[in-house]
Amino acid sequence: MLSDRNHISWDDLKVDEKKMQGFGTKSDNVYRVIVVDKNGNGHSRTVQGAIDMVPQHNTKRVKIYILPGIYREKIFIPSTKPYISLIGNQNQTSDTVISWNNKASDRGSDGIELGTYHSASVAIESDYFCATGITFENTVVADPTGRGMQAVALRIAGDKAVFYKVRILGTQDTLLDDVGSHYFVQSYIQGSVDFIFGRARSLYEDCVLQSTASFGGAIAAHHRDLPQENTGFSFVNCIVRGTGDVYLGRAWGDYSRIIYSYCYFEKIITSSGWSDWNQPSRQKTVEFVEYRCRGAGADMRGRVPWMKPFSYDQIRPYISTEFIDGQQWLRL
């Protein structure tokens, strides 16, 4: 059954607080706005409890309005629950926090190590998801010398997702931008090593990428195995700042694609800029691009010779929402 809303609009990221007066709205016997309040004055005290209220194979937008607080819980949104919005206060993103503390080497109830994939504080597998005014957090502080310290704050594996004015906080492997087409706007992403990684096709626009590395680190690691895969990470008008001596990207896959356009780099970028993941053959096939970036970290003189020099015509497909086929599903 097709939804009547096969797109995401600004309205999907808003609730009318004045009209709600602490209560959600209901239609077709299903809540269209579900209020989460850890103090008990909403429909659910927990975020997962609200997600559980959304019917399976939902075909209409359900907004989950999360009142300020720290919600210490591990969240999972299955593929059978599309059209969910998580909404906090866009002006105070730090007030509404979903926080957990698993790392890859932790063991699950079956005694088996979780691994990076299952360490996520929040995992989203549904399509047409969007979030605003929320902090997604994994509180594990990665020891650079430790094993199994990967600790994901957010894993997004659904198709067609928007994150507007969110914060994603962690250290190693903060954001698993797994699969699908995603749009991150005016958001803050923090970590130390490969803190944006995955196989997705995603546009990051007007975001802050905050490195917390004490020495070496990396912003992004993209996995792309074949030249015909229409995937990659494109960062447009982003700020890269913080600490450490970090790579802009690492070649996690033979055809890894990472592109920075019109970005500002503080002096934290290692002079070579990019890593081939100790696989020299990947130098011939990766697409690592810096286009008209600025700041002390954008000095190109020490860069690896195998990064791609793009013209404007070559960069143009990557610098707007057309890169993620936004004309088909975004109404922003």
- Any idea which residues carry the catalytic annotation? 194
Q: Max CA-CA distance within the chain? A: 63
Contact 130, 164 (CB under 8 A): yes
User: In this structure, what DSSP letter does residue 4 have?
Assistant: S
Contact 31, 53 (CB under 8 A): yes
CA–CA distance, 105 with 291 (Å, rounded to integer): 38
Q: Is 227 exposed, middle or buried (0-12, 13-18, 19+ CB in 10 A)?
A: exposed
List Cβ neighbours of 45 (8 Å cut-off, separation of 6 or more): 36, 37, 38, 39
Contact 60, 86 (CB under 8 A): no
CA–CA distance, 67 with 197 (Å, rounded to integer): 30
Strands 196-198 and 208-222: parallel
- Residue type (1 letter), 230: N
DSSP letters, 99-155, are EE---TTSB-TTSSB-TTGGG-SEEE--SS-EEES-EEEE-----TTSSS----SEE
Per the document, the length of the chain is: 332
List Cβ neighbours of 66 (8 Å cut-off, separation of 6 or more): 36, 47, 50, 86, 87, 88, 96, 98, 134
What 3-state DSSP class applies to 67?
coil
